[in-house]
Amino acid sequence: MNLLSILTFLPLIAGIIILVAPSGWQKQFKYITLAVTLVQIAISGYIYFHFDNSLRGVDLINSYQFKEQISWIRLDLGSMGKLQIDYFLGIDGLSVPFLLLTSIIMMVATISSWEIKTNLKGYFALFLLLDTAIIGVFCALDFFLFYIFYELMLLPLYFLIGMWGGVRREYAAIKFFLYTLAGSVFMLLIMVGLYFSVTDPETGNHTFNMVHMMNPANYSGDSIFGSLAQQTLLGIPARLLGFIILFIAFAIKVPIVPLHTWLPDAHVEAPTPVSIILAGILLKVGGYGILRICYGIFPDAAIHTSWWLGLIGVVSIVYGALNALAQKDLKRLIAYSSVSHMGFVLLGTASLTAEGAAGSVMQMISHGFLSAMLFFLVGIVYNRVHDREIANFRGLANIMPQYTAFVMIAFFASLGLPGFSAFIAEAFSLIGAFNSETVNGAIPRWMAIAGSVGILLSAAYFLWTLQRMFFGQTRLMGGEEWRTKLNDLTMREKLALAPLALLALILGVFPSLAFDKINGSVLELIHHVTGK
């Protein structure tokens, strides 16, 4: 049984066990889920360290690793030929870091789920279903399978936000669902179009295999997305339209500026563990999708639109940071800071340089750890006093010293202090963006300069918050009653925070841990897109 399949379906089985188990076992559900996440960490750790860095993946099908390909659906559609869908899992440099990131974040989210009190059975079942869907998205190499896992992610999140969320949870949940579904339904149309354009070299009938979609030889002459047919849909060249629609579908997840308004609502209303997962991993699915699918399948369109992608990236950075500066609610501030930090991912990717792309993947990993830590920290305060307004707290450092230490680590790490992974990621994204004009002219230099303003703004809003909430004389809105409630970190909370801080530090000091795995695939992706 292939490792990836075990990693993907282990949580699903555990989820079913929890569903079937008598609801009296409230306490055991937590421990079952924790055990599952620990096993997942073991497996993904094993995969990470047995990953052969020299194999490049991306568009070379035989250089994917831990592959598993079983024929799943063979529909005979009469004149439309046989529909061939395979259960095809495999990983390469782009997806292997995300497996480890997902398992770790899931473990931290489980620890933080100790605070959930109502309807534990439903909660942990949905939690594990979400886990399966996310791992599946990162491993799937068959577009149909990818789409199923991609949609499967929405259902549990809708209920997790909807049933355990804050005051306006329904509005947030339905808004999140509608946003993502709107993007993915049009992705379905493109997927159908691609399916009919691509034929599998071995079996000769149409296929969903993403890697076959990446190499232009498999496109039949008259097909819609065939590069030589130059068909146009609604006046726009078909391949460009396909790229734009797929990009929009993933951009909603990233999120980029015009399509980001679901993020603050979803985060503010979601319970802490869910917003940890939402920020830690869900945003990375968008970035991963752009790299793997948009850039992989439509490389020619990617070059044309790289200027626009860069512009959107820069706008996201600056606009997100400015918004974060104006927030009064701490969680909403961190949500907008995530929008700004994910802007770097887009800028790095649009640069189509090795530094830029590797920087953006590194930024996704580092932002995964840091945003999970930030949301967990906000959750700690919120669980104690049920208030997140920055203005209501002052001088927390005096009554919660350890908490302040972790907050300072998290804040300084996310604003890009060297020694932490975010600095390496953001610096190399910007260097790549700046460098791209000499290397391939993808995006102009001023975008890198405008992007670097984002670093300054992130320093501004993080330090301003630190100064308002943590330093100075202790004055709390809730007065004495809050002071008694605001006790310092418990062992459980430290157990969740310490690994994240350590990982951010280790990746900052030894970035080769991540870069060695990513380099091969990034170079192959750049070669695939720009031909250099």
Partner 1 sequence: MDDYSLYISDSLNGTIAGIRGIYPEIGLVVSFLLVIFSELFFVKRIKQLPFWITLISLAVVFTLTIKQFAIGDSLTLYSGMIVLQPASVYFKLLFLLSAILFIVFVRNNQQMQQHKKGTGDLYAVLIAVLLGMNCMAMSANLLMVYLSIETVSIGSYIMVGYISGDGKQAEASIKYALFGAACSAIMLYGISLIYSFTGTLNLNADLLEGLNAIPVWSAGLAITLFLVGLGFKMSFVPLHFWSPDVYEGAPTPVTAFLTTGSKIAGFALLWRVLEAFNSSGNAISVYDFQGLIGIVAIVTMLFGNLAAIWQDNIKRMLAYSSIGHTGFLMMALVANTAGFKSLIFYLFIYLLTNVAAFMLVDKVEQESGSVNISTYLGLGKSMPLTFISLLIVLISLTGLPPTSGFVAKFLVFGSALESYKSSGSSLILWMMITGAVTTVVSLFYYFKVPLYAYLRKTESILPREKFDVKLVISLVLTFLVLIFGIFPQVITDLIN
Partner 2 sequence: MEQHDIIPVVSLLAVLMPLLSFVLCMFFVPKSISGKVAVSSIAVSFIASCFVFFKIWNAGNIHIQHHWFTLGQTSWDVGLLLNNLSALMILLVSGIAFLVHIYSLAYMKGDENIDRYWGYLSLFCSSMLGLVIADNLLLIYIFWELVGFSSYLLIGFWRTRDAAVQANKKAFIMNRLGDLGFLLALMILYSQFGTLDIEKLFGDGGLFHLSQFTSGEWIAPLGHISYVWLLVCGFGFVFGALAKSAQFPLHTWLPDAMEGPTAVSSLIHAATMVAAGVFLLVRVSPIFDSTVLITIAVIGIFTAFMASTIALVQNDIKRILAYSTISQLGFMMLAIGIGNNGAAIFHLATHAFFKCLLFLCAGSVIHEMHYAKNKLDADCDHQDIRNMGGLRKMMPLTFVTMVIAALALCGIPLTSGYLSKDAILISSFEWATTRSFAAKLIPYLAMLTSWLTTFYIARLIFKVFYGELRIQGDKTERLIHEAPRFMLMPQLFLAVCSAFFLFSVNPLSYENTWLLKVFPGSVALERIHSYHTVIPALLNLFAVLIIYFAYIQYARKEKAMFRENTWLYNFALNGWYFDEFYHQAIVRPVTYVSKFSFSIDRKVIDGLVDIVGKSGVLLSSIAGWLDRKLIDGFVNLAGRAAAGLGNFFRSFQSGRIQYYLAVMIFVVLTFFVLRYFSPAI
Does 260 help bind partner 1 (rule: CB under 8 A)?
no
Take residue 466 and report the two structure tokens written for it: 């630190």
Paired tokens of 114: 């100790």
Instruction: Out of 166, 395, 478, 499, name the contact with partner 2 by CB under 8 A.
Output: 395
Rounded CA-CA distance 392/374 in Å is 19
List the one residue from 151, 188, 398, 483 that touches partner 2 (CB under 8 A): 398
DSSP 65: E
* Those residues with Cβ within 8 angstroms of residue 129's Cβ, 6 or more apart along the chain or in another chain: 11, 12, 15, 152, 155, 156
Rg (CA), the chain: 23
> Rule CB under 8 A: is residue 464 a binding residue for partner 2?
yes
CB of 256 vs partner 2, minimal distance in Å = 12
Number of residues that this document lists for the chain: 532
Given 338, 452, 521, 530, the residue binding partner 2 (CB under 8 A): 452
Look up tokens 């927030």; give the residue: 327
Indicate if the alpha-carbon torsion angle 103, 259, 196, 61 is positive or negative: negative
What is the x/- site pattern for partner 2, positions 201-240, by CB under 8 A? ----------------------------------------
Site for partner 1 contains 242 (CB under 8 A): no
Minimum CB–partner distance for residue 100 and partner 2 (Å): 17
Least distance CB 213 / partner 1 (angstroms): 16
- Within 396-444, where are the H helices? 396-399, 401-414, 421-439
Determine, following the binding rule CB under 8 A, whether residue 467 of this chain makes contact with partner 2. Answer: yes
Give the C-alpha separation, 426 to 411, whole Å: 15
Q: Is the peptide bond before 255 cis (omega within 30 degrees of 0)?
A: yes
- Residue among 280, 164, 272 at smallest CA distance from 492: 272
Find which of partner 2, partner 1, none residue 192 binds, CB within 5 to 8 Å per kind.
Answer: partner 1
Burial readout 390-409 (b: 16 or more C-beta within 10 A, e: otherwise): bebbbbbbebbeebbebbeb
Residues 102-161 that bind partner 1 (CB under 8 A): 119, 147-148, 150-152, 154-155, 158-159
Q: Are 245 and 186 in contact (CB under 8 A)?
A: yes
- 512 is a site residue for partner 2 (CB under 8 A): yes
Q: Shortest CA distance to 123 belongs to which of 280, 15, 39?
A: 15
170 binds partner 1 (CB under 8 A): yes
Q: Find the distance separating the first CA and the last CA of the chain, reported in whole Å.
A: 39
Query: Is the backbone of residue 235 left (phi > 0), alpha (psi -120 to 50) or beta?
Result: left
Does position 13 interact with partner 1 (CB under 8 A)? The reply is no
The answer to whether residue 406 forms part of the interface with partner 2 (CB under 8 A) is no
Return the number of other C-beta atoms located less than 10 Å from residue 440's C-beta.
Answer: 18
Shortest Cβ 248–partner 1 spacing (Å): 12
The reply on whether position 174 binds partner 1 by CB under 8 A is yes
Using CB under 8 A, which residues numbered 274 to 303 contact partner 1?
none
Phi and psi at 352, nearest 5°, equal 55, 30
Out of 114, 196, 307, 464, name the contact with partner 1 by CB under 8 A: 196
Asked if 113 and 69 touch (Cβ cutoff 8 Å), the reply is no
C-alpha 486/C-alpha 430 separation (Å) is: 40
169 binds partner 1, rule: CB under 8 A: yes
Among positions 471, 475, 490, 495, the unique one binding partner 2 when judged by CB under 8 A: 471
449 binding partner 2? (CB under 8 A) = yes
Write the interaction track for partner 1 spanning residues 54-83; mark x where CB under 8 A is met and - where it is not: -------------------xxxxxxxx--x
From the list 194, 281, 354, 443, which residue makes contact with partner 2 (rule: CB under 8 A)?
A: 354
Distance CA 309, CA 314 (A): 9
Nearest residue (CB) to partner 1, 84 versus 275: 84
Answer for the pair 240, 301: CB distance below 8 angstroms, yes or no: yes
398 binds, among partner 1, partner 2, none (CB under 5 to 8 A by kind): partner 2
- 18 versus 415: smaller Cβ distance to partner 2: 415
How many residues bind to partner 1 according to rule CB under 8 A?
Answer: 41
| Least gap, CB of 383 to partner 1 (angstroms) | 21
What are the residues facing 209 on neighbouring strands? Answer: 142
Segment near partner 2 (CB under 8 A), from 5-13, 191-199, 211-219, 514-522? Answer: 514-522
Q: Does 472 bind partner 2 (CB under 8 A)?
A: yes
**In the complex, minimum distance from the CB of residue 419 to partner 2, in angstroms, rounded to a whole number:** 7
Structure tokens at 419: 């020694």
Regarding 315 and contact with partner 1 (CB under 8 A), the answer is: no
* Interface with partner 2 (CB under 8 A), residue from 185, 463, 477, 495: 463
> Rounded to whole angstroms, what are the CA distances from 340 to 287, 456, 481, 524, 525?
14, 12, 36, 28, 25
Give yes or no for a contact between 298 and 242, defined as CB atoms under 8 angstroms apart.
yes
Smallest distance from the beta carbon of 385 to partner 2, in angstroms? 21
Q: How far is the CB of 387 from partner 1 (least distance, A)?
A: 23
Pairwise CA distance, residues 128 & 36, whole Å: 9
Q: Which residues bind partner 1 (CB under 8 A)?
A: 73-80, 83, 119, 147-148, 150-152, 154-155, 158-159, 162-163, 169-170, 173-174, 177-178, 181-182, 185-186, 188-189, 192-193, 195-196, 222, 224, 233-234
Q: Which residues bind partner 2 (CB under 8 A)?
A: 170-171, 174-175, 178-179, 258, 261, 319, 322-327, 353-355, 358-359, 395, 397-398, 412, 417-419, 423, 427-428, 430-431, 434-435, 437-438, 448-449, 452-453, 455-456, 459-460, 463-464, 466-467, 470-473, 510-512, 515-516, 519, 522-523, 526
